[in-house]
Amino acid sequence: MVALAGLTLLSSPCVALAEPYFGGYVGTARTEDKDLRTELELNGVPFVNGRARDLTFDSSVVFGGKAGYFFGQDVLGGNVGAELDVYHFEPDFGAQTVRFAGTFGGVTGDISTRLQSANIDVTAVTLNFVYRYHLLSKPEYPRGRLQPYVGVGAGAFIATLETRTSTFDANKEIRDTDVRPGFQALGGARFFLMPNIALFAEYKFIQTETFSFKFKESGTISGFPVTETARDRADLTSHLFYGGIAFHW
């Protein structure tokens, strides 16, 4: 009886269409301009407090991998799945001149200032819920050889900012890491080269909460000992375009 029940379950349409998969991808990440909120104290005395306008980020390579599972239940000609999606990109920004609105050296105003370059590393660990539609179905491709899909997800975004101090006689490397939640929406399509191997192309929109990077470093200014305490804050809005290969079974 148990064996008969197991055979019946395995032969049901829902289980037959259930499908685990994993894949890897590489592409381009483009990050929108953002305001950078900056606060800086020297020996505990506020020196800078304001907002650098429209900071421009570099485009970068994005690479990652995903592992997921499509459930067997048919929904409007397709089915629903869930996937773990992990990826990395580096929206650095180069030295650039920006408008700064706020307090600078005790004077309030809107001035043009030069920002140091900075390296930013972002690693995302996210969970997506995906709906795919089956097209070009045939006996050897019962789920469709072409599968357009859309999805939404959320997760943890781990960002590290590394730059240099800008006030000391001899500037120093400083870095900090912060973790914030973020939301993403995605869309794409996969095409099966063989029943278990597919190529896919995908677009992903990302919006994070505001990262907060804190620095504390000691040095000298004109030979006098000074401790610099700083805090930089910004969120990220990025657009990811990439392609990859996935294995389904």
The answer to whether position 110 is within a domain reads yes
The answer to whether position 223 is within a domain reads yes
The answer to whether position 134 is within a domain reads yes
Going residue by residue through the chain, which has 249 residues, state the pLDDT in tens, using 9 for 90 and above: 433 333 333 344 444 457 999 999 999 999 999 999 999 998 988 889 999 999 999 999 999 999 999 998 888 888 999 999 999 999 999 999 999 999 987 888 899 988 889 999 999 999 999 999 999 999 999 889 999 999 999 999 999 999 987 777 778 889 999 999 999 999 999 999 999 999 999 999 999 999 999 998 888 888 888 888 999 999 999 999 999 999 998
The answer to whether position 9 is within a domain reads no
The answer to whether position 15 is within a domain reads no
The answer to whether position 1 is within a domain reads no
Q: What is the domain count for the chain?
A: 1
Position 17 scores a pLDDT of 59
Give every CB contact of residue 15 below 8 A, 6+ residues apart in sequence.
9, 72
Cut 0.75: pTM above it: yes
The answer to whether position 7 is within a domain reads no
Structure tokens at 232: 């930089």
CA atoms within 13 A on the CB side of 161: 25
Q: How far is CA 152 from CA 20, 64, 86, 237, 245, in A?
A: 19, 17, 14, 15, 20
The answer to whether position 191 is within a domain reads yes
CATH of the domain at 144: 2.40.160.20
Q: Which domain holds residue 69?
A: 21-248
Position 3 scores a pLDDT of 37
